Chain A
């Protein structure tokens, strides 16, 4: 079975006047059809850049190497016309900030219909009708009225629903959601997570959920990839990751997350130091400076992702 998305040895470098920045370092991952994969990482982990590369949205000064295949066909370096056929219809993206990702001067109905008109060749009237139905499906109340409104007339949560609707219009195989709930209030976030779960259930679309919030990802993902300094350090099923994290970073990160229930610790657990600046990483484990288990080997040899298909970890001395 061809994986929906297959990334091999992807490296992304940005050339700056101050030097070169390695945002992503020889990363490989696969997303199977209808699978929901959570990609978790903090600042500098490179999690967004990986998928920007897949969508061909990287900044002009980026140098990319490796391969990104969508349903078998190579996306990197593809002709703009090929890319445009696939982007927005078969592989779509939901961004973090619903305020800036919708065009402010066009009505919602127009923006939604336009997607279908340009990708599927549908006539405008049919496209608007489909758009209205899709708004119902994503639980936007009074969908007829909303079609005629402008983005600024909608609340943040509503706009995000519109983005989700837009991403589903052409029945994509893969939806990439980049921090879809980060800019939203927690009550709205809960509803959007619900919506994404419902959508997955109904349509069987594969979902790549990028977030810095493990709890958000926990509610949705089948499998979770933990990224650190441009590399994947752990790849496990959702249950396994939380029950038995194998990478020291994952384990520490889980401890750092405060909870609204359970006992209150005296001091909030934290990691010392900070994530490495992207320019600093070399042939070593990027987490070694902050790891309590680090040994000499960690400082000179880069750990590779190893393990069974159910759970892989890139660590010389994993926890389990």
Chain B
């Protein structure tokens, strides 16, 4: 078993007094796609930026190819950037409006392969444009001349031109129409298969994450609450938050039966999604800001299974079954819902 490509240990990020990321640990191996799901305020985008050191964490280690990215020098960090790339959410905003698409895609080449002749650079940019389905002739155009989906292809081309070992996709398809998000997703998968690249796919869209990922991490208010293989997570979610998320996803009527086989419970706390009338009226959003919840489980305000211990002790992420980790004091129990407002 080779060393993981990326090792994140005890990562903590604060925004002033507010803790945004609190003690996150995970590994990522070559060729693996890990999905990171969470809602707004969960810290998933912050995590991406912390890994890339686009902001400075308070504590923790981010070991990439053996080197701690958070403690190395600026020059060493920049050198590693060729292997660690990101595709952003807003395709148009992530492109310099005053640069042609060809210049934008070619910039990593100028930075990391300065000895390349202009002609070679143009050839590689053209090849990349073709590979992402845009056509070499588009190199002279400006970002505002493209649609959202096309801009996202440009972003991917720019990220991929140096064949990075790890690609972070931060809500990369969220702003695209459903009918074309598949184009981008399939492109990412093809590129990954060609190069054994690892992908960290951050999204709030559970269905897309399910499609892409080998493993899934669920993050809530800056903490990982569940980590599992993709099929296991969607078939048997163990954390109450994960189950609430899955239950809340609106389903098309033609979909097959309820996604989450209930945990071994006396009664399902969160009912099957098609029975829409019985969604429990629990607070759907965090009530107290994260800084006031320094101890205890972050989810306790919204959890139907809450116990006194949840107020005082923060549940550690423990392995509930093989490869399936949950941060919940009650993950091993047979649960009966305590409250149903």
CA gap between A171 and B181 in the complex, in Å: 40
CA gap between A218 and B254 in the complex, in Å: 10
CB distance from A272 to the nearest CB of B (A): 8
- Most A CB contacts (10 A, CB to CB) among B244, B258, B276, B277 go to B276
CA gap between A264 and B258 in the complex, in Å: 15
CA gap between A220 and B149 in the complex, in Å: 29
Among A80-88, A103-111, A184-192, the stretch that binds chain B is: A184-192
CA gap between A239 and B253 in the complex, in Å: 8
CA gap between A254 and B183 in the complex, in Å: 15
Q: Do B254 and A256 touch (CB < 8 A)?
A: no
Q: In the complex where A42-B177, A186-B245, A271-B179 touch, is A257 in contact with B186 (Cβ < 8 A)?
A: no
Checking B179, B246, B258, B285 against A256 with a beta-carbon cut-off of 8 angstroms, the contacting residue is B179
Q: Per-residue CB proximity of B233-259 to A under 8 Å, as 1/0?
A: 010000000001111111111111111
Residues of B within 8 A of A139 (CB): 281
Q: In the complex where A186-B249, A243-B254 touch, is A191 in contact with B182 (Cβ < 8 A)?
A: no
- Most B CB contacts (10 A, CB to CB) among A157, A190, A267 go to A190
Q: Do B252 and A187 touch (CB < 8 A)?
A: no
Residues of A within 8 A of B179 (CB): 42, 252-253, 256, 270-271, 275
Q: Do A194 and B210 touch (CB < 8 A)?
A: no
Q: Do A259 and B250 touch (CB < 8 A)?
A: no
Q: Do A187 and B255 touch (CB < 8 A)?
A: no
CB distance from B23 to the nearest CB of A (A): 23
Q: Do A194 and B279 touch (CB < 8 A)?
A: yes
Q: Report if B185 contacts A (CB, 8 A).
A: yes
Residues of A within 8 A of B245 (CB): 186-187
Q: Report if B40 contacts A (CB, 8 A).
A: yes
CB distance from A291 to the nearest CB of B (A): 12
Among B58-66, B120-128, B201-209, the stretch that binds chain A is: B201-209
Q: Do A188 and B183 touch (CB < 8 A)?
A: no
CA gap between A192 and B10 in the complex, in Å: 36
Residues on A close to B: CB < 8 A? 42-43, 139, 155-158, 185-191, 193-194, 197, 212-216, 218-219, 238-239, 242-243, 252-254, 256-262, 264-265, 267-272, 274-275
